[in-house]
Amino acid sequence: MSDEKEAAGRRAALAVRDDQRVGETFANHVLGTMSDGATITVTLGAARAVPEKTGRASRADPHVAVVSRIVLTPKAAVELAQGLSGILGALAAKTKPEKTN
């Protein structure tokens, strides 16, 4: 067995431990992506607005705030793209209107 196949087998056998203390981040915008050749960075954002209070003007205009940056190895980026492709394909099939004759 080659060293690469052995390493891939070890990675596949690693257990995933879901630490419930790890927070989730909501984003409704992908603000940017970039690569430096060694990593891929995805910057995520969320639309924000401070609601007006009775008798007071809004404190800020609606805007998009940076909420997270995820930095991935190329391999992890490929895994993410494959996972998203599967999910988006299933969503598209589910929401595709039926053709009528």
pLDDT in tens, 15-38: 999 999 999 999 999 999 999 999
Give 95's pLDDT tier (boundaries 50, 70, 90).
Answer: confident
Give 72's pLDDT tier (boundaries 50, 70, 90).
Answer: very high
Higher pLDDT, 72 or 101: 72
Which residue, among 44, 31, 34, 15, has the nearest Cα to 77 in the 3D structure? 34
Average pLDDT in the chain: 86
Give 100's pLDDT tier (boundaries 50, 70, 90).
Answer: low
Q: Whole-structure pTM over 0.75, yes or no? A: no
- Non-local (6+) Cβ contacts of 64 within 8 A are 29, 31, 45, 46, 47, 48
* 90, 39, 23, 46 alpha-carbon torsion, rounded to 10°: -70
In this prediction, residue 32 carries a pLDDT of 98
Q: Is a pLDDT exceeding 90 seen at residue 61? A: no
**Could you give the C-alpha distances from 82 to 1, 7, 44, 45, 85, in angstroms and in order?**
27, 21, 19, 22, 5
Average the pLDDT over 51-73 and give the result: 81
